[in-house]
């Protein structure tokens, strides 16, 4: 009797298909159909239909619909034909948020692969987990959690050291004095400084900007001020391989460096054109900018505006020509959808879309082992 009842409760396959059809009809033909079509359009309704049909009619009941949704969203963005828009799955979205905050989870070391017997520690972050555990510059990491990282294995060692915040990793270290010791580091979120600097010969201050994400503008002003305190009389600002970042950071950085005048123009899909201005306070030093083919977005506008406002010469390669700003919208599945929502231009209204920046001195890096682009920028400043 009990077995018969179980059989009666089982919904046959044809019934599931009917349920799916009914559900799609409710969506498309129900009382709210007119409003739904107005809001979503027929294509948007079709996407919802496809999901419902896959959920209730597809023969493989354990199919990974999350993966299907990721693929669908990816395809939708690709169909826009905009190389700058993107879809991020939940894991990628969280990694992106962390990266844009200029944070990372780790133990706070910079390493090189110069040694065959392991990873050579070059720098240790102040107050980071590695320093607290006693790791020093000059140490060689020979084992990670008991596994040797000598030879070719050292190229995988950084992935072994990486991990989730709060977890631990055990490192075996060979000290410069030849002694071996083992330390345990607890991974934590660390701040990654996006700007660095050094004073070169002849009073030239070199400033490297890795991106324009969170904190970049304040880091830039701190490094430039430090160089001026050391006696810098000119600046080389390096945005090579800089992927761009936040418009707000870009505007603050330009305002800090440049004299009074327009420094950025935004033309959104919705709303009116906005022109942002710098105040009169500025860094009154000759400047030059380094760019390459991988200088994107805010990095391009940064270089272009320095040339437009104070005639700073630009050295390097023609840049990418990205003139659209993206907003990354969080999605209910935990992912993110980045869409180009506005065009941006220099303060004078010049767009870089499709053309990029033509350097004053077009020059690619050579194989000499020296930075010939940097040297060309210095030569311009010292003329």
pLDDT in tens, the chain (383 residues): 444 444 445 556 556 566 666 666 555 555 455 665 666 778 888 888 888 888 888 888 888 888 988 999 999 999 998 888 999 999 888 888 877 777 778 898 888 888 999 999 988 888 889 999 999 999 999 999 999 999 999 888 888 998 888 999 999 999 999 999 999 999 988 777 789 999 999 999 999 999 999 899 999 999 999 999 999 999 999 999 999 999 999 999 999 999 999 999 999 888 889 999 999 999 999 999 999 999 999 999 999 999 999 999 999 999 999 888 888 999 999 999 999 888 999 999 999 998 899 999 999 998 887 899 999 999 999 98
Residue 117 lies in a domain: yes
Phi and psi at residue 43, to the nearest 5°:
-65, -40
Split into its structural domains, the chain has a count of: 3
Indicate whether 327 and 228 sit together in one domain: yes
DSSP code of residue 245? B
In this prediction, residue 6 carries a pLDDT of 43
Indicate whether 113 and 223 sit together in one domain: no
Indicate whether 183 and 211 sit together in one domain: no
Q: Are strands 180-186 and 168-174 parallel, antiparallel or unpaired?
A: antiparallel
In this prediction, residue 350 carries a pLDDT of 93
With H, G, I as helix, E, B as strand and everything else as coil, classify residue 28.
Answer: helix
| Bridge partners of residue 325, in order along the sequence | 342
- Owning domain of residue 143: 103-191
Indicate whether 243 and 296 sit together in one domain: yes
Neighbours of 205 (CB within 10 A): 24
In this prediction, residue 3 carries a pLDDT of 44
As given in the structure block, the two tokens for residue 247 are 């418009």
Indicate whether 357 and 264 sit together in one domain: yes
What is the rounded radius of gyration, in angstroms, for the C-alpha atoms of the chain?
A: 27
Residue 98 lies in a domain: no
Residue 82 lies in a domain: no
Cα–Cα distance for residue pair 301/220, rounded to 1 Å: 16
Q: Are strands 287-291 and 234-238 parallel, antiparallel or unpaired?
A: parallel
Dihedral sign for Cα atoms in the order 8, 9, 10, 16: positive
In this prediction, residue 31 carries a pLDDT of 47
Indicate whether 218 and 129 sit together in one domain: no
Q: Is 141 exposed, middle or buried (0-12, 13-18, 19+ CB in 10 A)?
A: buried
Residue 93 lies in a domain: no
Residue 206 lies in a domain: yes
Phi and psi at residue 105, to the nearest 5°:
-95, 125
Residue 122 is part of a domain; what is its CATH number? 2.30.42.10
Indicate whether 178 and 214 sit together in one domain: no
In this prediction, residue 319 carries a pLDDT of 94
pTM value is: 0.71
Q: At what angle do helices 247-257 and 216-229 cross, to 10 degrees?
A: 20
């Amino acid at each position: 009797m009990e077995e018969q009842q179980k059989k009666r409760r089982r919904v046959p396959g044809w019934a599931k298909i009917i349920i799916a059809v009914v559900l799609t009809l409710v969506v498309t033909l129900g009382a709210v159909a007119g409003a739904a079509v107005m809001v979503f359009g027929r294509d948007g309704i079709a996407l919802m239909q496809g999901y419902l049909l896959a959920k209730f009619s597809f023969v493989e009941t354990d199919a990974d619909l999350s993966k299907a949704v990721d693929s669908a969203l990816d395809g939708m963005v690709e169909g826009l034909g905009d190389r700058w828009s993107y879809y991020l799955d939940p894991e990628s979205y969280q990694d992106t948020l962390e990266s844009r905050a200029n944070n990372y989870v780790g133990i706070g070391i910079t390493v090189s692969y110069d040694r065959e017997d392991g990873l050579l520690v070059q720098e240790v972050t102040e107050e980071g987990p590695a320093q607290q555990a006693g790791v020093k510059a000059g140490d060689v990491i020979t084992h990670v959690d008991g596994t040797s990282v000598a030879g070719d294995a050292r190229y995988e060692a950084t992935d072994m050291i990486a991990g989730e915040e709060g977890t631990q990793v055990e490192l075996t270290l060979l000290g410069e004095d030849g002694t071996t010791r083992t330390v345990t580091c607890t991974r934590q979120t660390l701040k990654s400084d996006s700007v660095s600097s050094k004073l070169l010969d002849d009073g030239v201050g070199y400033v490297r900007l890795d991106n324009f994400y969170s904190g970049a503008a304040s880091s830039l002003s701190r490094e430039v001020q430090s160089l001026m305190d050391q006696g810098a009389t000119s600046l080389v600002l390096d945005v090579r391989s800089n992927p761009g970042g936040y418009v707000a950071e870009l505007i603050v950085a330009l305002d800090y460096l440049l004299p009074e005048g327009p420094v950025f123009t935004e033309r959104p899909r919705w709303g009116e054109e906005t022109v942002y201005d710098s105040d009169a306070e500025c860094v009154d030093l000759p400047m030059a900018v380094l760019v390459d083919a991988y200088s994107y977005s805010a990095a391009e506008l940064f270089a272009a505006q320095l040339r437009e406002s104070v005639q700073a010469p630009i050295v390097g390669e023609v840049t990418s020509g990205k003139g659209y700003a993206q907003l990354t919208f969080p999605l209910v599945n935990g992912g993110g959808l980045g869409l180009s929502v506005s065009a941006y231009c220099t303060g004078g209204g010049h767009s870089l879309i499709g053309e990029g920046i033509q350097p004053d001195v077009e020059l690619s890096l050579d194989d000499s082992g020296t930075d010939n682009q940097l040297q060309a920028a210095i030569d311009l400043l010292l003329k």
